[in-house]
Amino acid sequence: MSDPTAFAEKYGPWAVVIGGSEGIGSAFANELAHRGINPVLVARTQSTLDEAADEIRAANPGAEVRTLAVDLSVPDGAEQVIAATDGLEIGTLVYNVGSEPNYGEFIDHDWDMLAGRLQRNFVSKARLVHHFAGLMAPRGKGALVLMGSVAGFGGSPGFALYASSKAFSHTLGEGLWFELAKRGIDVLTPVVGQTNTPTMVKAYGRVEGAAAPADIAREALDEVGNGPIWIEAKVRQVVTDRIYAEPAERARSIGERAARLASGNPVPVS
Ligand SMILES: NC(=O)c1ccc[n+]([C@@H]2O[C@H](COP(=O)([O-])OP(=O)(O)OC[C@H]3O[C@@H](n4cnc5c(N)ncnc54)[C@H](OP(=O)(O)O)[C@@H]3O)[C@@H](O)[C@H]2O)c1
């Protein structure tokens, strides 16, 4: 939707951005503010939230920006977001958080870490989608953006739970796109490839040719009404190849790429 007033009317006046203090999340929040929607940034660290909020306010005079320090990997995290946003008309939910800085085989990870990821990347996501879509439905408008990844198109040795959580976003998003269309709510799963965000750069270093967060956020929001899925142009061929690959070969080659990323010798993005 190119008309900013129509965009804000359909998807505002407020948006909740989960994982909104940096990377693709703060880029989403900034882009939403640019389009006339007031973002509520949610993340665990108040200082980073404050810095992001100040930057968004400076870049978008007139935007109201709120912050909420909540951990979505604990059982009552989603309930805290629900309580804190009571009374705000939330027209857009961006469930952005989800990257995995801990490369490693599933059984070698500590169970508490994995349980937190299950809560953050599955349960809290489903809970907040259920809550906010339920409030949007009587208004007959709104948007859900569930971040996906090229990783969701195949088993990923070294990132097995992460990849399955991205597949969860894709399949949940596609089903909800159909269910919620008749209630006036748009659902989009942006499928992106490697992006130089603080989480990924800190864990694995910069990847040559990887996308910039601001480009991902802008292009995804341009497509929010054209769900159920938007695939970043650079990874369209990779996604097609993965869908049609023989599964054993797919797991082998994805595992090889993942190991290279983790060893600091990533395959450049072309
Ligand atoms: N970057 C890539 O290469 C890439 C590629 C494909 C797909 N994606 C997808 O894009 C999305 C964003 O990725 P990203 O790399 O920008 O970073 P990310 O690590 O998914 O998100 C970082 C944001 O989430 C917050 N956060 C982390 N854990 C949290 C928790 N338990 N509760 C609440 N907030 C939490 C962080 O702040 P705090 O640490 O202060 O909480 C920060 O604001 C993800 O869904 C990812 O799967 C990324």
The pLDDT tens digits of the residues spanning 249-270 come to: 999 999 999 999 999 888 888 7
Q: Tens digit of pLDDT for each residue in 136-186? A: 999 999 999 999 999 999 999 999 999 999 999 999 999 999 999 999 999
Angle between helices 160-181 and 111-118 (to 10 degrees): 10
List, by residue number, the catalytic residues. 162
Top-tier CATH class for 4-262: alpha beta
- Evaluate: CB of 22 within 6 angstroms of ligand 1: yes
Calculate how far, in angstroms, residue 215's C-alpha sits from the geometric centre of ligand 1.
16
Residue for token pair 């938007």? 230
Measured by CA distance, the residue closest to atom 25 of ligand 1 is 19
Q: Is the pLDDT of residue 74 over 90?
A: yes
Q: Where are the beta strands (DSSP E) in the chain?
A: 14-18, 38-43, 66-69, 90-95, 142-146, 185-191, 229-231
- Evaluate: CB of 120 within 6 angstroms of ligand 1: yes
Measured by CA distance, the residue closest to atom 39 of ligand 1 is 44
Calculate how far, in angstroms, residue 162's C-alpha sits from the geometric centre of ligand 1.
12
CA angle 153, 172, 178 (to 5 degrees): 115
Q: Tens digit of pLDDT for each residue in 183-215? A: 999 999 999 999 999 999 999 999 889 999 999
Write down the domain spans for the chain: 4-262
Q: Which residue has the higher pLDDT, 270 or 37?
A: 37
Calculate how far, in angstroms, residue 99's C-alpha sits from the geometric centre of ligand 1.
5
Q: How far is CA 6 from CA 35, 37, 65, 219, in A?
A: 10, 11, 20, 17
pLDDT score of 2: 67
> Counting atoms of ligand 1 from 1, which one is nearest the CA of 213?
16
Handedness of CA 92, 28, 46, 196 (dihedral sign): positive
Ligand 1 pocket: which of 42, 44, 99 to mutate (most atoms within 8 A of CB): 99
- Evaluate: CB of 117 within 6 angstroms of ligand 1: no
Dmax (CA) for the chain in angstroms is 53
Calculate how far, in angstroms, residue 217's C-alpha sits from the geometric centre of ligand 1.
13
- Burial, 12: exposed, middle or buried (Cβ in 10 Å; 0-12, 13-18, 19+)? buried
Measured by CA distance, the residue closest to atom 46 of ligand 1 is 99
pLDDT score of 188: 98
- Burial, 34: exposed, middle or buried (Cβ in 10 Å; 0-12, 13-18, 19+)? middle
Q: Evaluate the omega torsion of the peptide bond into residue 228 and state whether it is cis, within 30 degrees of 0.
A: yes
CB atoms within 10 A of CB 146: 26
Calculate how far, in angstroms, residue 116's C-alpha sits from the geometric centre of ligand 1.
14
pTM to 2 decimal places: 0.97
Q: Is the pLDDT of residue 59 over 90?
A: yes
Overall residue count recorded for the chain in this entry: 270
Contacts of 155 (CB under 8 A, 6+ apart): 163, 247, 250, 251, 254
